[in-house]
Structures are given as structure tokens and as C-alpha cells.
Amino acid sequence: MLIVLKPDAKPKQIEKVCAEVRAMGFQPHPMPGAGRTAIGITGNKGPVNPLPFESLPGVERCIPVTKGYKLVLREMKPEGTVIDLQSAKVGGGKTFTIIAGPCSVESRKQMDQVARFVKDQGVNILRGGAFKPRSSPYSFQGLEMEGLEILKETGAKHGLATITEVMDTSTVEAVSAAADVLQIGARNMQNFSLLKKVGKAPKPVFLKRGMSATLEELLLAAEYVLHGGNYNVILCERGVRTFADHTRNTLDLSIVPSVQRLSHLPIFVDPSHAIGRRHFVEPMAKAALACGADGLMIEVTPDPDHALSDGAQTLDFKGFEQLVESLRPLAKVLGRTLN
Amino acid sequence: MLIVLKPDAKPKQIEKVCAEVRAMGFQPHPMPGAGRTAIGITGNKGPVNPLPFESLPGVERCIPVTKGYKLVLREMKPEGTVIDLQSAKVGGGKTFTIIAGPCSVESRKQMDQVARFVKDQGVNILRGGAFKPRSSPYSFQGLEMEGLEILKETGAKHGLATITEVMDTSTVEAVSAAADVLQIGARNMQNFSLLKKVGKAPKPVFLKRGMSATLEELLLAAEYVLHGGNYNVILCERGVRTFADHTRNTLDLSIVPSVQRLSHLPIFVDPSHAIGRRHFVEPMAKAALACGADGLMIEVTPDPDHALSDGAQTLDFKGFEQLVESLRPLAKVLGRTLN
Amino acid sequence: MLIVLKPDAKPKQIEKVCAEVRAMGFQPHPMPGAGRTAIGITGNKGPVNPLPFESLPGVERCIPVTKGYKLVLREMKPEGTVIDLQSAKVGGGKTFTIIAGPCSVESRKQMDQVARFVKDQGVNILRGGAFKPRSSPYSFQGLEMEGLEILKETGAKHGLATITEVMDTSTVEAVSAAADVLQIGARNMQNFSLLKKVGKAPKPVFLKRGMSATLEELLLAAEYVLHGGNYNVILCERGVRTFADHTRNTLDLSIVPSVQRLSHLPIFVDPSHAIGRRHFVEPMAKAALACGADGLMIEVTPDPDHALSDGAQTLDFKGFEQLVESLRPLAKVLGRTLN
Amino acid sequence: MLIVLKPDAKPKQIEKVCAEVRAMGFQPHPMPGAGRTAIGITGNKGPVNPLPFESLPGVERCIPVTKGYKLVLREMKPEGTVIDLQSAKVGGGKTFTIIAGPCSVESRKQMDQVARFVKDQGVNILRGGAFKPRSSPYSFQGLEMEGLEILKETGAKHGLATITEVMDTSTVEAVSAAADVLQIGARNMQNFSLLKKVGKAPKPVFLKRGMSATLEELLLAAEYVLHGGNYNVILCERGVRTFADHTRNTLDLSIVPSVQRLSHLPIFVDPSHAIGRRHFVEPMAKAALACGADGLMIEVTPDPDHALSDGAQTLDFKGFEQLVESLRPLAKVLGRTLN
């Protein structure tokens, strides 16, 4: 940590800050600078609480240096994490993986139809929500256990890996039994009880970035899962909340290379939720591929205009086919393989 | 809902939109305007999914009108909700309630010392975290069940109502047994499983606004709790996430009169978490009182610089005393009673 | 405009709102809905001030429908605006135009070296700041008139069109005389005096999106220029300000298809300023091309680490060469021609 | 500045960074820390460009320490700047100054009526816009020179100081001749040409915070004015742009104590523009007073519902009277004098 002093900080004040650092068992390193002094701290094993120092006289502000994550750092696995889902390998920089399916599991027939279609398109991972986080208690909340059952059957029938959201600790076991990947939704990115629980689960975790999560918080949320013993985590950008109102959320694609620089975990993009408009899914999906994302999560359903949730951002079969067709040559020229 | 058409929308396109509205069982109301037509929808029982229409040719965008909340509306209880905690009545516009205590329960001795002190200062509700949501898995996570026990004993001993955070569905029962008010933290504001669960709990709920929650989402989160049957909900502003970096979060005090205009629920302010700097707690606490908040949540502990969490935003006893002294005359002149 | 009433609005209150609408010379259209009434307004020639109605009893909020822009709408020029700069044609969907050069014009030698290099790379438009908007008065402010002179000479010598920022009304004439395109920086996007002035200038305008400008405000700023008679406007996304701190600004690529849906004006992307880190310029540039942008603005200089401004986001020659090489096959597969 | 290295940075990489620091004429101070090394820089006279270092191998990020402002620092004038406008003294902590008047100067009669009224209410500074920055070119742009004339006459007649916005360098002289205080609007906060010009003007400057300006940028913008020789600057918070949509902007009152801690300049609050709703002006004005602001800027006009601009946020005479009445006892108890 770095403690920045005020321009007029007295030598006595500087000494008091140093004494406080020493009292914590660390070493202070005062550095006189242009107009002011800054004090570095060494000897700490983890992040130092920056805040106590800020109330000392003469201190302007503190700047944390050490981040709280370790296991997610690229240095831990420079070649990148690859997750083997049998039907598909995720991550590692060569493949570009499309996860597709409806927002909500609505019926066995719907899922069967979608599974057959996406498999034909070369997709190997099927999504479908059984438990649905909805802003309003009066909105459709998903088919729950029945939805899980349908998803599992459909995946098995078509040889597709499956992914679905788990919303609380009490259903982690059931979801782990039914699906191949456990999705943590954006609203639960800092539901630490849930993160600890899926850290013990036998299935990979697909962790969506919170609506206003920083890169650091996203990596720390993943660190919870890895810290629990589950090293198979996929991160996913799904748009963040800003003042901009032309899309539902603001898709922050620059997090893709930022994650890849810092961490070994695969990073996906969900343009459907980020944008909330079906006609912008294709351009943003192409952008995600072009900037190096490991894959996409795309909503598709036969009749999106009558879907029980999120219809307007969901592609129909024709739209999805067109999307895959537009991605294929792009992937090729970028040295990536669609799977 | 209102469907806004493009300036050059064809009559056929307008008719198609109307037909789609009718197909959903609603009535379309086309209104030719300045340069473009808009179509109102009536006959719906709840919010209409705005999105499907946006993909129809000729449609520019859709504007939702009906909100998804009902039970929280001021119209349901124009005089405002008053929550009786025995030691204090919360809400209703006359009282101004201070909830005080340390960020984390650290020991029996610490809690006893704080309880005695805050009671002396006229405070009737004691806070203290037993389960702590922390960004990093390596940070102190709270004393958990032991912390609950200490909080309960301390409250009973000093005749103080108690409030503590509940982080997941599996501990709602234990927390309900130990504390008088269940706090839902900002990161869990849209943990819908938890909201449903506390909607069935026998204790009032203190619901903190999420880091990037809109007023509508905050009210909808409360609606989940009321919908479950628990009508005793207190809302709390604790700062939102913006680009501004001079405070930890941006304290959005304008939500106080905004909530009061729309809803009957009490609204508190937590300046400690919002600002993250102890020296700004007093001015923002005074501002919260002045703009009409129903109360404050304030962090106080004997030795904040050595607290296990959030020390820099926590007042020491002297700072807290000074805060209460500065609030008292302000409350009086505003016709409010500190409790 | 749409006026949304409160659920319990009285018929008398509704009538009063209607009377007020009529008093303004417009027609009210009350529509009873699910739980509340909304009133549409027709007969207005432009946007209705939504705000006065919000203070009437019984009114919950007002929703503007008509936007204030007209000339920028795609409907005015469905095929899209193409701007002919002799050395390059900008816009229209087929070409992908790279504007390149240093952040600041620093010397004749530097500009000559850059011009020769970028021309070799197939670039036809040279950038270089003569007047520099800097947050601090103590930072390098540009070579000003001398910088303009150098830019002009360099462009002429190498047959490159030139672009440079104009910061105030008093230098519009000088900049118009020296450069082929007038850049309006993000901080001046709503400098309306300047927008009016460049609306009368004889050169195309390159209008950067403000740091927190909505799509509507960006289009309205462009409308000022078109309204002045200058129809040659290029828009440019350069990152917006959000809570996210892993890049200097958050690059909002979704504005590219959003602009193209609404407006006929070309839209560029400046990844250098948005990201502020040279190592992320290439992935975001590829993403911009993939999502359909009309072009890029890229900072390049021989020795970025010793540049007088913005060095860290600036590519060196090798980095730029690599960028162009990576864009070329991508452009080809997307049916675009680099120029 | 502090350069933070990656956990696995090689000694050679560390040495290379140090060499680069030395090459710039500064001294590097490597500090081995918990898991990684950080390098402090001393010997610099101003801020070091943090960015070049970030591209060196082994470097994770750079953290700037020295800010670019000096003249605005509280250390330069610990007692605080007091600006003498004859009719009122602004700043210094004892007075609480209300600036009031209509959004736009619309007619001699309107201004006369408002001036008489506000003077009666104890107000000593009259506002009124002659040049209006409007998002749309089709909105009312102000009476311009005629408006200036009316404002000047009205101020002189009633013995009120006057304040009005200056939008560009070409009208600074005219506005300086007509008004007692020059307002720089939020959209022009980083119009550096204008800041330089008013830095040479003979009248105090009222500088509104930009829509997404950080505290640092606000202070740097003021530094431009002081650097020009004009030491009489008043800062003003007027709401910032965030995701929150319940008010027009998010009023960031915590900037009041933040400015006061860092700078000697007075800080005002404009709740009218921040909130955009007349019914929330009073609570937020009280909050501004309570948290220590030096004054308010309030919009008031006889018939706000028919104002040519910003009617819904403007108080009528009755509303303003009520506001002043509610502020008076609050000011008294806080030891402040309304003026």
C-alpha cells in the first residue's frame, strides 16, 4: 500500500504514520516527492486495510497495491484454463464456443426443438433457465425442478452439455445433479454464500459479471470459487450499468483482453442480455469474437415474440443460423474453431 | 405500454403492430403525433413485455408504463408504515432513528462496551455483523453463529433492539431467532431466493439498496418481501456506484424524497458505507436528516483503527457523541425526535 | 409525450391535466390502463416540455416521445452519408477508413516520419493535435498555430487528408484553412457556440461523443452542425465514463449499430483514447471493425514512450503495422475495403 | 508515481523500469512487497506520465500520486476564499448565500418582478440566463445580448449582484461588462479556451461541475482560472450523470465536504438542475445547507409552468418563500447567516 501525505504534512505527522505502520508489524518506506511525501508499506502478507491511515493527520489518501486474488492470476497457469465438457473443450485460445438455448425452459417440446436445431448448427452446449431471477415477484419465475429435469433429459438425448442458473445454496446439489455447468447470474456475483457452495460443487461454474462489478471484484468472486477447490470457472461479460440508455446495459468488451492479461480463466460474452435488442446481437457477437473472447452465450428459441421471458433479445432459428454463418468465416480468419 | 413508431412507418406496419397487440388480448390505441405515431396499450393486467414489439418493422422503441410493484405504493398506506421494535418506533415522519454499532461483532467485551455507550447516547437499536459479505475470500468473514449469540445477549442485557445481516436462505431462521431486524445487504438486494425467504420471516427486514439499483428495482425488491407476507420493510440508501472517486460510493440522497413520494416504507441512510471516510460521516448524516430520511445507520466502535473490517469509515465514541450532538438541535428545528 | 397518472388519480385531476394540454394548443388522449391512466399528447410540432405536467396533482411522471433531431435521421438519407476527402471516401458501408497519426504535432520531422510511414501502410488521413485540451493547465497545450502549419505542410507533401481538433470559435477559420476535417473533442461535444460555428465551416466535422453523452445527445450535437448547413459530419465513439476502472474509459461499441440504425452519419471508433493502454488497441480495433464501424482513429508515433502527451495509448510503428496486418484479412472477410 | 510490478516480474525487468525512470531524470525507489515489487518515483517537478511504464514487460499498472493542481489547494489559503460582491460576501463558512432567479431572462417585466420578489426574501444575487446551452438546436436559445442588457438594468435598479452564463470566448467581454459573476456551465467545465479567457476577466467565476467530472477534474478546471490570475472562483455541484433515473441527475452532495477538505474555494449546490423536479428542491436544498455548502443556486419565476425553459424544476414565488422559510431556522441552528 502507498500512503500519500498532504503537501504540508509535518515531519512529526510523517513519523506518526510510520510508527503506526510499524505497530502493525510492517515496514514503512517514506519517499519525499514533488511537493509531497508518500510512504510505501512492505512486509504485509495480504492487502493492508488502507482506511485507518486516512484519518491520521497529514494523510491525504491511501492507495492499495496488492490485490486480494491469487489463484485466478495468469501466473498460476500461464497457458490458460481449458475446461473439458466432453461435448466441447472451453478456453485455451483456439476454440470459440457458442452456448445457445432459450432464456427459460418452457416445455419438453420447446427444448427438444431447440436442442435439435442448435446441435445442427454445431453448438455443443445447451442453455435454459429453470430458476429465473426476475426483478418483479409477479413475473414468470421458471419451471424450477421440472425445468431442471427437462434440461437434463434434453441434453442427454441430444448429446449436448447443459448449463443452467443456480440461484441459492439450497439448490446447488439439485442443479449439480442435472446440469454440466452451474451458472451464477449477475445479481448473485457477490452472493458469497453461493460462491462458497459452488466452490465445493463437482461441476464447472459460469460466473456472470455483476451489473456494476469492477474487474477486481469479478476476479475476487472467481477467487471464492477456486479457493473452495473448484478450479473450473468461466467468466462472462453481460453488460454493465451506466448512464447510457440506447442499450439495456453497456457491453464492456474491453474486459475481454483485460481478463486475459491478468487471469488464466476463460472469458465469454453474452450479447443478448447486454444489449437487450435482437437486432444488435449479431454485430456485438462478431465484435466479441474479434476481440478474443473464448465464447458466446446466445439466447435462441423458435418463437421469441411469445417467449415467457426476454423475448426481444432472443434470436429465432433463422436469426441464429445467420449469426453462426457470419461468425464462421470470421473465426477462420482469426485462427479460431467454432464449437 | 407505449409503442413509438418510426417517422416513416407505413400504415400496414402500424396495422401489424395493432394486430399483434390484439393477439395478446389487449387493445391498441394508435395516436398520430408530431412526425410519428405512437400506440398505447390497454387491457393488460400487469406490465406488458415491451421487447417483442421492438423487432417489428416500423417500430422505433417501446416505453413501459405500468410498474411491477403494488404493495409498496404509498397509495396502499398513505400515512406511512411505522414499525414497532419495542425499544423504538421506526418510520412515520416524526421520529428520526439512529441504528448504531460496529461493522462486525468481534467480541462480547466489544459489544458490551458499544451497547452501553450507544444506549447512553439515546440509541435504541444496535447493529453488528455476524456474517460479513467480503469481496475477498481472504478477508475476515465474521464470527458467524457465535457473533449472533453475542449480539442477542448484548441486546437483551441492554434493552436494545438488534439488527444484523442475513446472507443466505439457510441462516434466515437462526438470524430471525437472534435479532430483531434482518438486514439484507446491498450485494443481496436482488437475491430473490433470500427475499422470498425473509418475506416469510417473523422479523422486520432492513433492505439496502444495491450498488447500481434503480429506485424501481429497490421497490420491486421490497415488493418481493411484502408479497411474501412480511409488511415490515425499511429501505436504506448506502451509496451507489458511479464514476466519481472522491468517496467510496456516491451517496444518492435524492432517493429519500423520491421513495417517500412513491412508497409508504421508511427510508434510512447509511453514510458510513456510502462515503467510506469517517470525517465525512457527520456532514452527510446531517444532510440525510435535513432531507427527511427516517433514520441513519452508523458504524461506531471503541477503536476503529484496529477494527477487523471497515475501520476508516467507523466513528470512535468521541466522534459519535459529536455526531449525536450535532444532530439533536437540527432534529428539533425540523420537528423530529431522535430515538 | 405521454403523461402517466398515479394509480389513485381522481377524474378531476385527469380532467385538469387534459385542460392544461389543451391550453397549450395540443390534444390530450386519455387511455385508462391496468391500474392507472396515461394521457397521450398529439398536435405538437416539436418536443413538448415534459416537466410542467409532473407538478400537477395526480401525475406520476411524463415520458417524452418525439426526439429533437430530424436532419441526422437515417430516413433523411437511407443510403448513408459518404464524405469525399479526395484521398479517401468515408462512410457508406463498404470502406473501412483508418485515421492515424500522433496525439500531438511535436515537430516537422516527427510529422514527416509518421506521414511517410502511415501512407506506406495504406492510410489516407493524417491526424495530429495542434491545440490540445488538457485537464491540467500545467500540461503541454500543443504547438497551436505552428502545429497547424506543420500539419498542413505534411499533409500536402504526402497527399494525405488531415484532421485536427478545433477548440474554440476564434480558431475555426484558421483550422478550416489548414486541415481537411475539423475535430470536435469529447469535452466540447456540447459546446454549442462551437457547434454552430463549425456548422458554417467549409470542412467536414469529426464529432467525438462526450464522456457521458447519451446517443440522443450525440445526435442532437450533430444536428446543430447539420442545422447550420454543414451536412458532412462523422461521429466517433471514444469511450464513456463509468465506474469501471480497468480501462481509462469504457468503450461502448454498441453505439455503432445503434447510430447506424437511427442515423445516416458515419460512425468511427477511437480505441486509443477509450482504453488508454496500447496493448488493448488491437483487440478493440478488431472489435470495432467486426461490429460495423465506418473507421478507426488510431494514435501512432515513432517513440510513444517519450511523446509529449498520451504516450501509453499510442502505438509505435511496429505495433501499427501489426494492427493493420491483423485488420486486413478481417476486413476482407467482412466485405470491407481498408482505406 | 508508483509503478506496480507483476508478481512474477524478473529482476531484469525491474532493473529496466528503474533505468527508464532514471532516463527521465528521476529517481526510482524499488520496494519489494507481499508477492510483488512496487517502484516509487521521486525527483519529478510535476505529475509523471504514468502510461509509458505500463507497456514495459513485468509492469502491472502505474498509480499517479501528485495531482496537477496547486493554487486551489486549501494549503494556499487555509481560512478559505471570501468573494466580496458588495451586495453579498460569498464563502468563508459563516454565510449561506442564495442565488435566485429564472432559468432564462424572458422579459424586462419578468426580471423586474422576480428581482423585487427575491430581494424581499433576503436574496442579494440575481441569476438569469441570456445565452442558453440547449441540447437541441430547435429549443429556445436565450435573448442573448438583449437578455444581458435586461439583467444588468434589473440588477442595478434593485441593488442586486447579477450572475449569468458565458458560453464562449467571444462573449466574455460583453458578459463581464453586464454581470457581476460569470457562470461557466457544466457542459463547458472543460472548455479550456473559455477557462483561460475568464481567468483574465475582471469578474468572479461560478464554475459548475461537469456532468461526469471527477473532483480532481473540477479542481483542475478551477486551477485554469486561478492560473490565469483570477482567484475568485466559486464551485458548484449540479448533479452528475449515473444510471439512476429517478432524478434528472444524481446530486452528489458528498463533494461539498470533499472540496472543503482539499480546497479554499467556496462550493455551492444547484438542486434545481440536479433533480429536475420542483417538489424535490426543498429537501435537497436543506440537505445542502446541512452538509456545509456555502450557498445555493435556485431557479424561481412567477409562472414556471409556462417558462421557456426548465419549468418543471423552477419554483414559483410561493414555493420559494416556503423554501427560504424552511432554510432560515436550519441556518440559525447551524450557525450560518442567510444572505
Choose, out of B191, B218, B301, B318, the residue to mutate when testing the contact with A (most A CBs < 10 Å): B191
> pLDDT by residue (tens digit) across D214-246?
999 999 999 999 999 999 999 999 999 999 999
**Are residues B74 and B264 in contact, defined by beta-carbon separation less than 8 angstroms?**
yes
pLDDT, mean over chain C: 91
pLDDT, mean over chain D: 91
State the pTM of this model. 0.89
pLDDT by position in tens, chain D (length 339): 778 888 788 889 999 999 988 888 888 888 776 667 888 787 776 667 776 787 788 888 777 666 678 889 888 888 899 999 988 999 999 999 999 999 999 999 999 999 999 999 999 999 999 999 988 888 888 999 999 999 999 999 999 999 999 999 999 999 999 999 999 999 999 999 999 999 999 999 999 999 999 999 999 999 999 999 999 999 999 999 999 999 999 999 999 999 999 999 999 999 988 888 888 999 999 999 999 999 999 999 998 877 777 677 889 999 999 999 999 999 999 999 998
In chain B, what residues touch C35 (CB-CB under 8 Å)?
66, 70
- For chain B, what percent of residues have pLDDT higher than 70? 96
Asked if B243 and D214 come within 8 Å (Cβ–Cβ), the reply is yes
**Are residues B122 and B338 in contact, defined by beta-carbon separation less than 8 angstroms?**
yes
Choose, out of B136, B215, B216, B318, the residue to mutate when testing the contact with A (most A CBs < 10 Å): B136
Report the relative pairing of strands C267-269 and C233-237 from DSSP bridges.
Answer: parallel
> pLDDT by residue (tens digit) across C15-44?
999 998 888 888 888 877 666 788 878 777
CA C80 to chain D, closest CA, distance in angstroms equals 22
Do residues C59 and C175 share a domain? Answer: no
pLDDT of the residue at D46 = 66
pLDDT of the residue at B195 = 97
> pLDDT by residue (tens digit) across C135-151?
888 888 899 999 999 99
Q: Is residue B71 part of a domain?
A: no
Do residues C41 and C88 share a domain? Answer: no
In chain D, what residues touch B138 (CB-CB under 8 Å)?
none
Do residues B40 and B109 share a domain? Answer: no
Do residues C211 and C300 share a domain? Answer: yes
Confidence of residue A84 (pLDDT cuts 50, 70, 90): very high
pLDDT, mean over chain A: 91
Q: Report the residue from D33, D44, D46 with minimal CB separation from A65.
A: D33
Specify the CATH number for the domain of residue B200: 3.20.20.70
More confident residue, C197 or A79: C197
Q: Which of A164, A222, B171, B308 is nearest to B185 (CA)?
A: B171
Do residues D60 and D129 share a domain? Answer: no
Q: How many contiguous H segments (helices) and E segments (strands) does chain B have?
A: 11, 15
Cα separation of C72 and C78, whole Å?
Answer: 11
Asked if B250 and D254 come within 8 Å (Cβ–Cβ), the reply is yes
Range of the domain at B177: 83-338
> pLDDT by residue (tens digit) across B83-137?
999 889 999 999 999 999 999 999 999 999 999 999 999 999 999 999 999 888 8
CA D51 to chain A, closest CA, distance in angstroms equals 16
Do residues B61 and B115 share a domain? Answer: no
Asked if D305 and C167 come within 8 Å (Cβ–Cβ), the reply is no
- For chain A, what percent of residues have pLDDT higher than 90? 69
Which residue in B has a C-alpha nearest to residue C242's C-alpha? B243
pLDDT of the residue at A34 = 62
Return the beta strands (E) in chain D as ranges: 2-5, 27-32, 37-42, 59-63, 83-84, 89-90, 95-101, 125-127, 161-165, 181-184, 205-208, 233-237, 267-269, 295-299, 337-338
Q: Is residue C158 part of a domain?
A: yes
Among residues B34, B66, B98, the one where a domain terminates is: B66
Q: Is residue D284 part of a domain?
A: yes
Do residues C12 and C125 share a domain? Answer: no
Choose, out of B192, B242, B301, the residue to mutate when testing the contact with A (most A CBs < 10 Å): B192
pLDDT above 70: residue C156:
yes
**Are residues D4 and D60 in contact, defined by beta-carbon separation less than 8 angstroms?**
yes
Question: What contacts C100, CB < 8 A, 6 or more positions away?
Answer: C114, C118, C121, C123, C125, C126, C127, C297, C298, C299, C300, C320
Specify the CATH number for the domain of residue C8: 3.30.70.1140
Show which subunits contact C, needing at least 3 CB pairs below 8 angstroms: A, B, D
pLDDT above 90: residue B42:
no
Q: Is residue C112 part of a domain?
A: yes
Asked if B276 and A51 come within 8 Å (Cβ–Cβ), the reply is yes
Cα separation of D302 and D103, whole Å?
Answer: 12
Choose, out of C5, C211, C219, C243, the residue to mutate when testing the contact with B (most B CBs < 10 Å): C243
Do residues B27 and B123 share a domain? Answer: no
Among residues D66, D97, D113, the one where a domain terminates is: D66
Cα separation of C99 and C87, whole Å?
Answer: 12
Q: Is residue D112 part of a domain?
A: yes
Cα separation of D137 and C199, whole Å?
Answer: 11
**Are residues C14 and C37 in contact, defined by beta-carbon separation less than 8 angstroms?**
yes
Which residue in C has a C-alpha nearest to residue B45's C-alpha? C34
- ipTM of the complex as predicted: 0.88
Asked if C250 and A254 come within 8 Å (Cβ–Cβ), the reply is yes
> pLDDT by residue (tens digit) across A183-205?
999 999 999 999 999 999 999 99
Asked if D244 and B261 come within 8 Å (Cβ–Cβ), the reply is no
pLDDT of the residue at A1 = 74
> pLDDT by residue (tens digit) across C172-228?
999 999 999 999 999 999 999 999 999 999 999 999 999 999 999 999 999 999 999
**Are residues D222 and D265 in contact, defined by beta-carbon separation less than 8 angstroms?**
yes
- Chain C residues within 8 angstroms (CB to CB) of chain B: 2, 4, 6-8, 29, 31-36, 38, 40-46, 63, 65-66, 70, 73, 75, 212, 241-243
In chain D, what residues touch A212 (CB-CB under 8 Å)?
243
CA D299 to chain A, closest CA, distance in angstroms equals 25
Do residues A225 and A174 share a domain? Answer: yes
Cα separation of A90 and A71, whole Å?
Answer: 19
Where are the alpha helices (H) located in C134-188, listed in sequence order?
145-158, 172-178
Do residues B170 and B283 share a domain? Answer: yes
Q: Report the residue from A139, A187, A279 with minimal CB separation from B68.
A: A139
Asked if B283 and D240 come within 8 Å (Cβ–Cβ), the reply is no
Asked if B133 and A192 come within 8 Å (Cβ–Cβ), the reply is yes
Which residue in D has a C-alpha nearest to residue C306's C-alpha? D52
In chain B, what residues touch D250 (CB-CB under 8 Å)?
240, 242, 250, 252, 254
Which residue in D has a C-alpha nearest to residue B209's C-alpha? D244
Amino acid at A335: G
pLDDT above 70: residue A45:
no
> pLDDT by residue (tens digit) across B191-228?
999 999 999 999 999 999 999 999 999 999 999 999 99
Do residues C111 and C228 share a domain? Answer: yes
Measured from the Cβ of residue D97, the count of other Cβ atoms closer than 10 Å reads 26
pLDDT of the residue at B66 = 63
Q: Is residue A74 part of a domain?
A: no
Do residues B225 and B309 share a domain? Answer: yes
Cα separation of C220 and C207, whole Å?
Answer: 11
Cα separation of A54 and B247, whole Å?
Answer: 12
Q: Is residue C204 part of a domain?
A: yes
Asked if B135 and A227 come within 8 Å (Cβ–Cβ), the reply is no
In chain A, what residues touch C292 (CB-CB under 8 Å)?
283
Q: Is residue D296 part of a domain?
A: yes
CA D104 to chain A, closest CA, distance in angstroms equals 27
Domain count across chain A: 2
